[in-house]
Amino acid sequence: MSQDLVIDVRNVTKHFGGIAAVEDCSLSVRRGSITGLIGPNGAGKSTLFNMVAGNIVPDSGQVIFDGADVTGMPPHDLFRRGMLRTFQIAHEFSHMTALENLMMVPGDQPGEHLGNVWFRPFSASQRERDVRAKALDVIDFLKLGHVRDELAGNLSGGQKKLLELGRTMMVDAKVVLLDEVAAGVNRTLLNDLAGNIERMNRELGYTFFVIEHDMDLIGRLCDPVIVMAQGSKIAEGPMAEIRSNPEIIEAYFGSPVEVA
């Protein structure tokens, strides 16, 4: 079973001062799934997510990624291992085009080293052509051809989120962490974004771990859905089951409510 898990969080704890943000929390993400993480404000979701992504080091516990203990490993090393993250606020290179933003992603390109440019110019130029071809394929997949040569800083919020999603396609990602992907995106582009996530999962085999407040989006994309409250995981299952469980609703909203 463990080899089917791309992320396995084991009994992690994180305190800030005297406050326990995450307390002895364990959860996992199955390879090939779109797994959602939800919970009320202050539940510990963002802290947990940041520990998985390498932005915060847990006080105790382990983060296992693709079978290896990566607890406390910085984000750039996790990137090399195949863990990629998008952010609530898109991090584009605003003065570069959408196409150039995608071409910046793959690391260790020969053209980055001056010696290769001088002494192995064919290798550098061939690699650049390959990266450009890959970027054009990604733009075509995401239907962003109409903004290919537009400066990324001029794109709408939704287009920037699509571009961030495209950047995850420029390398061999084993898992993509999506942080509040719906934030600042209009409903039309959000539908496009969700459709592309589904296609990447279904057609390309991408695994996603999604933290999100938009319950409709979570319900559309995610199975299973993990619920956190007061720093710990309290439930996991299909969204229909989560929505209909009165104990989960009470923990999530603070009092029993009707959920459609």
Q: Is the distance from CB of 139 to CB of 145 less than 8 angstroms?
A: yes
Please report which confidence band the pLDDT of residue 69 belongs to, taking 50, 70 and 90 as the band edges: very high
Between 7 and 17, name the one with better pLDDT. 7
Please check whether residue 161 lies inside any domain of the structure: no
Neighbours of 201 (CB within 10 A): 17
Q: Which domain holds residue 139?
A: 94-154
The CATH number covering residue 239 comes to 3.40.50.300
Mean pLDDT (the chain, rounded): 86
Average pLDDT over residues 31-56: 94
Same domain, 182 and 229: yes
Last residue of a domain, one of 124, 154, 184: 154
Computed over its alpha carbons, how large is the radius of gyration of the chain?
A: 20
Number of structural domains in the chain: 2
Asked if residue 176 and residue 88 are part of one domain, the reply reads: yes
Q: Tell me: do 64 and 80 sit in the same domain.
A: yes
Is there a domain that residue 54 lies in? yes
> Is the per-residue pLDDT at 126 higher than 80?
no
Residues 11 and 85 in one domain: yes
pLDDT above 80 (res 95): yes
Indicate whether 77 and 176 sit together in one domain: yes
pTM of the model: 0.85
Which residue, 127, 154, 181, sits at the end of a domain?
154
| 231-248 residue pLDDT tens | 999 999 999 888 888 877
What is the percent of the chain where pLDDT is above 90?
58
Pairing of strands 232-237, 68-69: unpaired
